[in-house]
Amino acid sequence: MTPPAKPSDEVMIDVQAMERLLQAVYEHAGCSPAEATQISRNLIGANLRGHDSHGVIRTARYIQNLRDGIVFANRDAVVEKENDVLAIIDGRFGFGQTVGPQTVDIGVAKAKQKGVAVTALKHAGHLGRIGEWAEQAAASNVASIHMVNARGSLLLAPFGGIDRRAGTSPFCAGFPETDGEPIILDFATSLVAEGKALVALRGGTPLPDGAIITPEGEPTSDPSPLYGDLDDNQVPSPYSGPGALCSFGLHKGSGLNFFMEMMGGALTGSGTAGALGEDKRRAVCNGMLSVYLAVEFFHEDDWLAREVRAYIEFVKSSRPTETGGEVLIPGEKERRIMAERTVSGLPISGQAWSDILAAARSVGLGDDEIQALL
C-alpha cells in the first residue's frame, strides 16, 4: 500500500503497517525493540479508540523530545521508597510507555497482596492515553484511579482567571467487569484536549463555545488565541499564544484540574505546572498518583459482578434525549470506534501522515525502507 502524503488529504493506514513503521522509527531512534513495541502499541491504541490527539501524531514530538533530552530511551522506573501498600517511583524521564506500565505492575502486585495500594510516579515521559494504565490494572481484576499532571505544561486558565496556570491534566478511573471489557473513564480536565484545538485551527472539527479564553477574558470557540500569530510555514505551538484553554464544567472541572496538580504534581514529587517567582517554564514531564483496589478483597462471591451488570443495564435503559439515540457508559464509545478501526485501518490527516514520514526519515529510514514497511 502506498498512501498519498499530501497534507490536505486524509489517508487510511492499515494497523499492522503502522505498527511496522513505528517499530522501525523508534528502534532507529535508539529504543530497544521491546520499548519500540510498547510505544507504538500505546499510540496506535489511542488512534484505535478515537483519541487521535494522543496517538501516532505524537511521533514527531516524541522524536524531538529524545533529541532535546526531555525523554530518554530504555530507562526503567526506579522504586525510591516503598512499604506493603505504597511505592514512590522515579520515572527518571524514561518513556511513559515504559515507566507507566512498570508502575502499574508494582501497584497491582501490592494490591493483590493487601487489597489496596498507591503508587506515586514522578518524572515520567509523556504517559499518552491514561486509560491504557487503567485497562492494565483491570486485566488483573483491579479497579484503579489515576490523577495525572504535566509539570511545565501551561495551557489552561483556572476558572475565573485569564492567565495560564495549569496543564490539561487527565483523570482516569477503571473498573473490571467480570463478563466483559473493563469500564474506563478517561478524559483531560480541559474542555477540549489541546490536540483538538490544533485540529480546529487546521480547519477540522470546530471547538465548542467556551473552550478557549481570549487575553481580554472573553470565552470563544476560536482556537487561534492559543497559538498566536503564525507565519505560513510555522508549526503551531500551543505555548505561543496569548489566550488559554478552559477547564470543563466551570468551577467544578477547574477544581478537579487543581487537584491533579496536588496529587499528580505535588504529592508525587514530580512538580506542579509552574510556580510564582520562576523566570522560565519548568521542563515538561508527567506525574501520576494511582490508587489500586483488588476487588476480590471486597467481594468473594459473584454479587459484585451481578450488581455492576445490572446497574449498567439500568443506566442504559434511560430514555434517550434524541430519537435513535442511546445512553453510553464510560469506555463504550472507544470500544465501538476500536471495533470499526481495527477493520478499516486508522484515518490519519494528510498533515499528520507527512509529519510521521518526516520523523521516519529524520531517524535515518530511507523512502525504500518506509515503502517496504507499508
Nearer residue to ligand NAD within complex by CB, 222 or 332: 332
Asked if residues 331 and 131 have their Cβ atoms less than 8 Å apart, the reply is yes
Output 30 or 249, the one with its CB closest to ligand NAD: 249
Looking at residue 320, the DSSP 8-state letter turns out to be P
Spatial neighbors of 115 by CB under 8 A, at least 6 apart, are: 293, 294, 297, 298
**Least CB distance from residue 328 to ligand NAD, whole Å?**
4
CB 359 within 8 A of CB 59: yes
Nearer to ligand NAD, 3 or 125 (CB): 125
**3-class SS of residue 171:** strand
Cβ closer to ligand NAD: 140 or 168?
Answer: 168
Give the nearest distance from C-beta 205 to ligand NAD in angstroms. 12
We find the least distance from the C-beta atom of residue 153 to ligand NAD, in angstroms, to be 7
115 or 330: whose CB is closer to ligand NAD? 330
Question: Beta strands of 140-241 (E only): which ranges?
Answer: 142-151, 170-175, 183-188, 212-213, 219-220
Kindly provide the residue ranges of all beta strands, DSSP E only, lying in the chain, ordered along the sequence. Answer: 10-13, 78-82, 86-90, 116-124, 142-151, 170-175, 183-188, 212-213, 219-220, 244-245, 285-294, 346-349
Nearer to ligand NAD, 123 or 126 (CB): 126
Q: Judge contact between 170 and 261, C-beta under 8 A.
A: no
Query: Minimum CB separation from ligand NAD for residue 114, in Å?
Result: 27
CB of 148 vs ligand NAD, minimal distance in Å: 6
Q: Is 123 helix (H, G, I), strand (E, B) or coil?
A: strand
Q: Which residue, 150 or 291, has its beta carbon nearer to ligand NAD?
A: 150
Closer residue to ligand NAD, CB minimum distance, 51 or 122:
51
Rounded distance between C-alpha atoms, residue 342 and residue 323, angstroms = 29
> How many residues does this entry show for the chain?
374
Using CB under 6 A, list all residues that contact ligand NAD. 51, 53-54, 126-131, 148, 150, 168, 170, 172, 184-188, 193, 286, 328, 330-331, 333-334
Contact criterion met (CB below 8 Å) for 189 and 205: no
Distance of CA 170 to the CA centre of its chain: 7
| CA distances (Å), origin 181, targets 143, 176, 187, 309 | 13, 7, 18, 11
As measured in angstroms, the least distance from the Cβ of 312 to ligand NAD is 12
3-state helix, strand, coil in the chain (%, to 5): 40, 20, 40
How many whole angstroms from its chain centre is CA 372? 30
- Of 120 and 188, which CB lies nearer to ligand NAD in the complex structure? 188
Residue whose C-alpha is closest to residue 94's, from 14, 5, 32, 155? 32
Minimum CB separation from ligand NAD for residue 116, in Å?
23
* Least Cβ distance, residue 156 to ligand NAD (angstroms): 10
Residue 243 is placed in which grid cell? 489566550
Cβ-based nearer residue to ligand NAD, 115 or 269: 269
Q: How far is the CB of 186 from ligand NAD (least distance, A)?
A: 4
Q: How far is the CB of 231 from ligand NAD (least distance, A)?
A: 28
